[in-house]
Structure 1
Amino acid sequence: MEVVQVLHMNGGVGDFSYSNNSLLQSKVISMMRPIVEEAINNLYCSSFLTTFTIADLGCSCGPNTLMVVSQVIKAVENVRGKLNKKPIEHQVLLNDLPGNDFNTIFKSLPKFLENLKLEIGGYVGPCLFNGVPGSFYGSLFPTKSVHFIHSSYSLHWMMDVPEGLEENKRNIYMADASPKSVLKAYYNQFQKDFSLFLKCRAEELVDGGCMILTLLGRSSQNPASKECSYIWELLALALNDLVAQGMIKKEKLESFHITKYMPSPTEIKIEVAKEGSFVIDSIKVSQVDWNVSNNNQFNKGISDVSSKGSGYNVAKYMRAVIEPILISHFGEEVMDELFIRYREIIAERMAEERTQFFNVTVSLTKPK
């Protein structure tokens, strides 16, 4: 499987599109807003820029892409206004893999800019947008051309399928039953990818520039812990059910692997120190419930109706994220049945226990 060719969210604005199933990612972006604002304030006050270049890596499509941009521009304009500085030019670089639905983003820009100016009030300098298709595990922008880099829920995706996963049969990701060699293979790939990412961004950021990265991660030191593997274990159960029904061949399942790594803060600190281009300003672990629409305190007596509805919501946003990869490997004809079964399994588990994603957010600065 060529990851670069098949890794993208469901485009368009349909029922299973990322645009309509990205509330979880929106919640995480909102949670990280204070960290973004603090980084922008420090960066602007240290240089009083006349042009501010923002890059959003793994921007995907839909409202979350421009939500990030809006936060950053508002933060810049807020501090600029307080200091009575002249309006500046904003350049926005939107990056994702070539299969991303950039057209949906570009179509929404006129309305977005109109609303942004109304929300900020007063005069806002030019806001120039560019789409930059390509892998962030390589060079994307000219040397020392970017002031601020943001990435949310993207960097946990790997550049390649790790080598040496042959013994991880029917486990589509790391699991308790996975051999130690499989855990090592995933970690080695993470080290290789993350180091390359840091090296490329160090070349593209100006001296004193900063990055804020939010990844799906974990607080545990165990890479196969439930904190990061549970959602994929349940998908593996659904896929195994389809194998039992004869809808998917066993060999197909045994050759399928989720190409992502959800690191701990310690693992991120180690790689940043080894690569050497950045200083960590802060690193934070946060949690968000699988069913982000349920803001009530967890109660083990969840009703059957509630859990079924929650399972449906979770399965839909997982489908928006992972369906293109699944289609490339298993074919489109089994998708509806797969996600019906996945929804049922998720609902069963959510009725019994609290289910959460763990996020790791790191704020980095490139020293002057």
Structure 2
Amino acid sequence: MGQMDLRSAVAEVIGLQALYSSSNTDDMKRRGALIRKAIPNALSQIQPLLAESAGVEIGDLLIEGRDATGMKAQIPWVRFGSRKASPRATVGWYVVLLFGQAGAGAYLALAHGSTQFRHGAFVPRSDEELSQLMAWGRARLSRSLPNDPRLVPNVKLGSVGALARSYEKSCVVAYQYSAAELPDDAGLQRDMTTLAGLLRQLYDAERLGQTPSATDPSVRDAEEAGAVISRPTSTQGGQGFALSADERRAIELRAMRLATTRLQELGFRVEDVSKMGSFDLLATRGDETVRVEVKGTTGNLGAILLTANEVQLHLKAYPANALMVVHGIELVERDGSPLAVGGTLQSWMPWALDIDLLKGITFKYQLA
């Protein structure tokens, strides 16, 4: 198959949907060639533009098309997104071309993985989970959505199949295309870069642990590092959203600043001992001495990461100890460097560390 322009390939697939068969007919063979080769090849011509708009490296931009898992699929698709953040269509956020059944046209959608692979089959995610993700995504992007009448909040693929319904429920926003009103290549590229820019915002939020049910970034990074250490030859990747050293330092400084201010408001004299011991702040007030652990996160209040030394120290120090966590910190850029602002402080004074709530990520096992 020679190089086709994007519009022609998309239009032909829309037409072939009227001839759908679950068998590998000549029409379905042609559709498969368009989905798996022609459209991805056309997108690869604008790969640098898509990668830049999505905020990912060119080598990380995944472009793929699928039209069958066994029998020919009723709803074929072509998608692009971060290989690290969305290694499979069942995982993470991406931009996808979804082709409806005859008469339904096509949609270019900002979507999230709508299924999970369980017991040898793709199983739709729960309505509750998809609803929570879509509501969060729309709220997150509410100020950035362009005022374009072609953008629709609901996708209707014209199929009663379970997977089609899951696709419909997993789209935040989409451009709707009919065969008669399909944009030219330049128009399709503009729509793709617009959605790629929105995708970038969702990737940033995931990296900062701000999505529903997200794990604190430091815990997430430790879990993924532990998985790499224990399975160094595994090809199973994590989310690929590690914070930079400068970002982590900015978050740490913001948390320490807010914790210090709160302690001073309570009448404590505060000393930063984070570089010398297994806790962060030494707070004294008269004859009272408190060892304070400080944690900061861009995510919601949830799990925190503790070293073995920190655990042992606070078990022994109780009740002359405290835990202070600043969550919901925001990262902004100032003069080319990350700056942490905002955040909500929550304190446990004293902190009765519950060993039943500890979960090991990695262990050292001494052999000799």
Report which of the two has the higher share of helix.
1
Q: TM-score, normalised by structure 1?
A: 0.28
**Structure label with greater radius of gyration:** 2
Q: TM-score, normalised by structure 2?
A: 0.28
Report which of the two has the higher share of strand.
2
